[in-house]
């Protein structure tokens, strides 16, 4: 494999790695990746550090592939502290793969509610079905079969097979991209395909012959606890004297990061359609941010004036549901953020009048008492509105002020 590393002299401290200016680098050659001596020293120090500093986590008490799998999927894009209670509830509800496969998708999503990136939960549910059908209800040991499961990409595959079965499989995720970039003093864009090949080659080269799972976990722990994005704790790092980035004082430049796009303001409306004490909920289709979750009719709002907003509510509810409605009070405003979108959600109330037309793609719909919403998976903002309905907002009850902007999870 060939990589173009960039213009700068690529010099790794302590004579470990050397590469000349603007040259093509062949990662199959030992002059790019660490020497055997460097690797031995690094592994020994890393494992020693991990023994002393590994945090306790419920999924680390076992090597059960199912638990490792659940934890790895939940940990994608999500902090450990957030995941722990979700993991415990999930395992209590679905203790093994057949139990997960037998669950309804709504039950799975309800337990995932608030964790965000709901596609992960739906894919896990599908993968559990595949394992029951084709693998006797077990997580397959061979990389080929495991790699074909829904939602199991290269990182997840490496993590599960190494941790659960001690397979010699590398891993690369956000924390290890940063750590390995610094250990290689790689100052190019780590998201580029050639850089990714280099980093995967490094992750593979570092793997010990045995206990690859423990080694991979130690790498991730070091990346998340010590080799921090800003202000890495080099003085506490077992690789301090091995690290060329630290030697060059370039920790704040490596890895190169892209500027985040500025947040985008979005204005949306959610409509609580009421009929004989019940409210209307519909299931979101299989695409988009909240695929598979239940929701109030919700859409982007373009009108500004109150009368125009009312006309827009009537028209859009009609398009979505086929129902004719009469707008009533504005209930509240919920501010929340989803990735880079800062959403202002205006929550309105409307009275059901009649079935007007049959919409083209009619969603699955339910009329529910507010207390019955509890059983259905909703987005975080949908749940907030649902809780306000249970408390009696609307229908003559006093309208509360704006709810606070919620966290980035959806």
Chain residues that interact with ligand SF4, rule: CB under 6 A: 179, 182-183, 226-227, 232, 234, 237, 239-240, 243, 245-246, 251
Q: Supply the minimum distance, in Å, between the C-beta of residue 243 and ligand SF4.
A: 3
Q: Supply the minimum distance, in Å, between the C-beta of residue 254 and ligand SF4.
A: 8
Do 124 and 100 form a contact (C-beta atoms < 8 A)? Answer: yes
In terms of CB distance, is 110 or 182 closer to ligand SF4? 182
Q: Please say whether the dihedral angle defined by the alpha carbons of residues 60, 63, 66 and 69, taken in this order, is positive or negative.
A: positive
In terms of CB distance, is 242 or 331 closer to ligand SF4? 242
Backbone angles phi, psi at 302, to 5 degrees: -110, -25
Backbone angles phi, psi at 229, to 5 degrees: -55, -50
Q: Catalytic annotation on 72?
A: yes
In terms of CB distance, is 158 or 238 closer to ligand SF4? 238
Which residue, among 169, 168, 186, has the nearest Cα to 177 in the 3D structure? Answer: 186
In terms of CB distance, is 251 or 379 closer to ligand SF4? 251
Do 68 and 159 form a contact (C-beta atoms < 8 A)? Answer: yes
Do 69 and 160 form a contact (C-beta atoms < 8 A)? Answer: yes
Run of H or E residues at 341:
strand 341-355
Residues 399, 389: Cα–Cα separation, whole Å: 11
| Active-site position among 8, 56, 61, 72 | 72
In terms of CB distance, is 6 or 229 closer to ligand SF4? 229
Q: Supply the minimum distance, in Å, between the C-beta of residue 71 and ligand SF4.
A: 25
41 in helix, strand or coil?
Answer: helix
Which residue, among 373, 367, 346, has the nearest Cα to 270 in the 3D structure? Answer: 346
Residues 36, 126: Cα–Cα separation, whole Å: 42
Q: Supply the minimum distance, in Å, between the C-beta of residue 239 and ligand SF4.
A: 5
Q: Supply the minimum distance, in Å, between the C-beta of residue 55 and ligand SF4.
A: 17
Kindly list the catalytic residues.
72
């Amino acid at each position: 494999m060939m990589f173009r590393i960039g213009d700068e002299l690529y010099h790794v401290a302590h004579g470990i790695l050397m590469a000349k200016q603007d040259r093509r680098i062949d990662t199959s050659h030992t002059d790019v990746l660490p020497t055997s001596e460097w690797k031995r020293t690094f592994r020994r120090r890393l494992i020693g550090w991990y023994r002393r500093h590994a945090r306790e986590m419920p999924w680390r008490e076992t090597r059960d592939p199912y638990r490792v799998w659940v934890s790895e999927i939940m940990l994608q894009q999500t902090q450990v502290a957030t995941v722990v209670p979700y993991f415990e509830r999930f395992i209590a509800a679905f203790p093994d793969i057949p139990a997960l496969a037998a669950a309804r998708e709504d039950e799975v999503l309800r337990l995932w509610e608030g964790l965000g990136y709901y596609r992960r939960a739906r894919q896990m549910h599908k993968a559990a079905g595949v394992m029951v059908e084709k693998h006797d209800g077990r997580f397959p040991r061979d990389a080929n079969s495991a790699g074909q499961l829904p939602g199991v990409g290269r990182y997840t595959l490496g993590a599960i097979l190494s941790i659960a079965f001690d397979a010699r499989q590398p891993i690369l995720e956000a924390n290890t991209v940063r750590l390995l970039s610094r250990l290689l003093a790689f100052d190019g864009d780590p998201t580029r395909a050639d850089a990714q090949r280099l980093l995967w080659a490094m992750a593979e080269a570092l793997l010990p012959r045995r206990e690859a799972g423990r080694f991979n976990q130690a790498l991730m722990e070091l990346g998340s606890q010590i080799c921090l994005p800003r202000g890495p704790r080099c003085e506490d790092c077992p690789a301090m004297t091995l690290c060329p980035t630290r030697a060059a004082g370039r920790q704040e430049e490596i890895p190169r990061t892209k500027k985040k796009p500025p947040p985008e303001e979005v204005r949306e409306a959610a409509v609580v359609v009421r009929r004989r004490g019940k409210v209307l909920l519909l299931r979101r289709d299989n695409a988009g941010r909240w695929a598979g979750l239940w929701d109030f009719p919700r859409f982007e709002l373009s009108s500004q004036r109150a009368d125009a907003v009312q006309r827009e509510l009537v028209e859009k509810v009609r398009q979505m549901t086929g129902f004719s409605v009469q707008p009533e009070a504005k209930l509240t405003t919920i501010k929340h953020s989803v990735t880079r979108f800062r959403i202002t959600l205006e929550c309105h109330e409307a009275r059901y009048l009649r079935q007007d037309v049959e919409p083209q793609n009619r969603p699955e719909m339910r009329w529910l008492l507010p207390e019955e919403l509890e059983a259905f998976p909703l987005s975080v903002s949908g749940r907030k509105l649902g809780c306000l309905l249970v408390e009696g907002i609307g229908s003559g009850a006093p309208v509360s002020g704006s709810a606070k902007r919620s966290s980035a999870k959806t």
